[in-house]
Structure 1
Amino acid sequence: MKFAVYGALAGGDPTKSMARDVSANLQTALDNLEPPRLVKISNDTLGGDPAKNSLKHFAAIVTVDGVDVPFACQENQTIDFG
């Protein structure tokens, strides 16, 4: 895994980022799964709510079979990491 970030822009304002690096949380979730590696992107999975009362977004670059693959979604969606 290269990185994973989860959060929101408070009120949609790009100067008010309320996001955090969740790489370790995602890696832990992935390490505990056999294929298919389905992960629900949520406050519970990623270690808390970085932006209360805001719709969060997730983005990551994960190495799958030796290739860096981008992943992105909104809060409470599920991603198949392969």
Structure 2
Amino acid sequence: MKIQFKFGNLKGLNVIAYLLLFGGLLRLFSGLYDFFKVQSKLDFLEKLDFLVENALLFGLNGLILFLILKWMAVQLRGKDFEMSLK
């Protein structure tokens, strides 16, 4: 049995990548807002922990996922996938 698949231009993967980038940036800015406005009653180390955990970590995760999906879209665009099963 032979399985063949052509990837095409993968427009949907680019859309998903940009949505993840937008979500990561939104999470980054909401974490920064919380750091400066909402969490003002915490001491400095608790604020720093909150900033790293919420703003930077989730923003960085969104950026990494965006870069991986963009790389996949470029590498797979127009490629053929073929697999044989015995």
Q: Classify the TM-score, shorter chain.
A: under 0.3
Larger Rg, first or second structure (1 or 2): 2
More helix per residue: 1 or 2? Answer: 2
Q: Whose RCO is larger (CA < 8 A, sep 6+)?
A: 2
More strand per residue: 1 or 2? Answer: 1
TM-score, structure 1 as length reference: 0.27
